């Protein structure tokens, strides 16, 4: 990767070459200067993001611990060890990513459509509803863990007052995932809301009015005029959210730690545990390489779809 990003500025400054000026260009002689400006970012990115992705493969071939010095070559042994785990965690991760993408999407779009109406205090409400998105993931996690708390949580308090049985939401494998998804939904619906609202407020007014003149009902106008404009941005943020959720760490780590059992154990939490609880760096790296494989497929799909949407 580093080879292909390296420019060859020496050629472009040769004085005999005709200096062709294009818009947005400060002239060929400045290209070296131009690249030098980007060099720190490129260097940082190559060292802190690109290199670790590649180097993980090397580590994955060794039996290497965080607490013992030295390492032993084991070939693909780590992969054989983590493969069953990987498949199971991939399922959990997919479950979380799909739910944590779809739920905020539905709620975000609903709030945006409703907030698009003429309403007193609309701007205030929109501003205040951004709060859940602002809070750090750790705070959101603790807040919902507190709300769901089995002995003192407000939900169980209300249930008791209504003489209903209490629920230990975070303590049961069947409901723990739902609890994390609720927290995640609460955390990320505002940003769907903001984007969708921005689109709704820039809809071509003429089209809506023409449709109204032709006798289209409100529902028909939404279905045939607004919706086509919304699909692009909504598809885009869904894919982004999905990819972010696929690697998200903090909420699950704080709320359930992957438990109870392995009911909420996603790839990110597993990798952390392999490396920093079991101190098994080789296994963690092998897991990372497998994960990267899946991620490449997802990203590839994302870019293909993105291209399709743009054209």
Residue for token pair 């003192």: 152
Interface region with another protein, contact rule CB under 8 A, candidates 73-81, 82-90, 166-174, 200-208 = 200-208
Helix (H) or strand (E) holding 74: none
- Quote the least distance from Cβ 176 to another protein, whole Å: 16
Helix (H) or strand (E) holding 297: helix 281-310
- Quote the least distance from Cβ 38 to another protein, whole Å: 4
Region 47-76 residues binding another protein, contact defined as CB under 8 A? 47-53, 55-56, 59, 66
Task: Determine the Cα–Cα distance for residues 25 and 250; give it in Å rounded to an integer.
Answer: 43
- Length of the chain, please? 311
Helix, coil or strand: residue 30: helix
Task: Determine the Cα–Cα distance for residues 50 and 256; give it in Å rounded to an integer.
Answer: 31
Helix, coil or strand: residue 65: strand
- Quote the least distance from Cβ 99 to another protein, whole Å: 16
Of the two residues 48 and 84, which places its CB atom closer to another protein in the complex? Answer: 48
Pattern 127-166, binding to another protein, x per CB under 8 A? xxxxxx-xxxxxx--xxxxxx-x--x-x--x---------
Task: Determine the Cα–Cα distance for residues 147 and 157; give it in Å rounded to an integer.
Answer: 10
Interface region with another protein, contact rule CB under 8 A, candidates 1-9, 79-87, 169-177 = 1-9
Pattern 221-260, binding to another protein, x per CB under 8 A? x-----------x--xx--x--xx-xxxxx--xx------
Based on the shown chain and the rule CB under 8 A, indicate whether residue 111 belongs to the binding site for another protein.
Answer: yes
* Maximum Cα–Cα distance across the chain: 89
Based on the shown chain and the rule CB under 8 A, indicate whether residue 195 belongs to the binding site for another protein.
Answer: yes
């Amino acid at each position: 990767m580093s080879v292909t990003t390296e420019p060859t500025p020496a050629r472009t400054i040769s004085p005999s070459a005709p200096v062709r000026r294009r818009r947005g260009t400060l002239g060929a002689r400045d290209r070296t200067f131009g690249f030098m400006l980007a060099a720190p970012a490129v260097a940082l990115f190559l060292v802190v993001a690109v290199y670790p992705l590649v180097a993980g493969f090397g580590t994955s071939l060794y039996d290497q611990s965080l607490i013992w010095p030295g390492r032993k070559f084991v070939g693909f042994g780590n992969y054989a060890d983590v493969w069953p785990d990987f498949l199971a965690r991939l399922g959990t991760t997919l479950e979380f990513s799909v739910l944590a993408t779809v739920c905020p999407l539905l709620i975000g779009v609903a709030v945006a459509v409703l907030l698009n109406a003429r309403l007193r205090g609309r701007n205030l409400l929109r501003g205040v509803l951004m709060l859940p998105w602002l809070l750090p993931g750790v705070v959101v996690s603790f807040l919902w863990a507190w709300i769901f708390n089995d002995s003192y949580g407000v939900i169980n308090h209300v249930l008791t007052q209504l003489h209903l049985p209490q629920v230990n939401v975070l303590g049961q494998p069947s409901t723990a995932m739902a609890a994390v998804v609720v927290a995640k939904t609460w955390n990320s619906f505002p940003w769907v809301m903001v984007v969708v609202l921005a689109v709704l407020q820039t809809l071509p007014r003429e089209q809506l009015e023409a449709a109204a003149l032709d006798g289209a009902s409100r529902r028909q106008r939404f279905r045939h005029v607004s919706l086509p404009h919304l699909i692009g941005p909504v598809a885009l943020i869904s894919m982004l959210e999905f990819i972010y959720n696929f690697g998200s760490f903090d909420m699950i780590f704080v709320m359930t730690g992957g438990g109870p059992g392995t009911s909420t154990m996603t790839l990110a939490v597993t990798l952390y545990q392999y490396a920093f609880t079991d101190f098994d760096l080789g296994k963690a790296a092998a897991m990372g390489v497998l994960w990267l494989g899946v991620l490449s497929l997802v990203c590839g799909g994302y870019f293909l779809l993105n291209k399709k949407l743009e054209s």
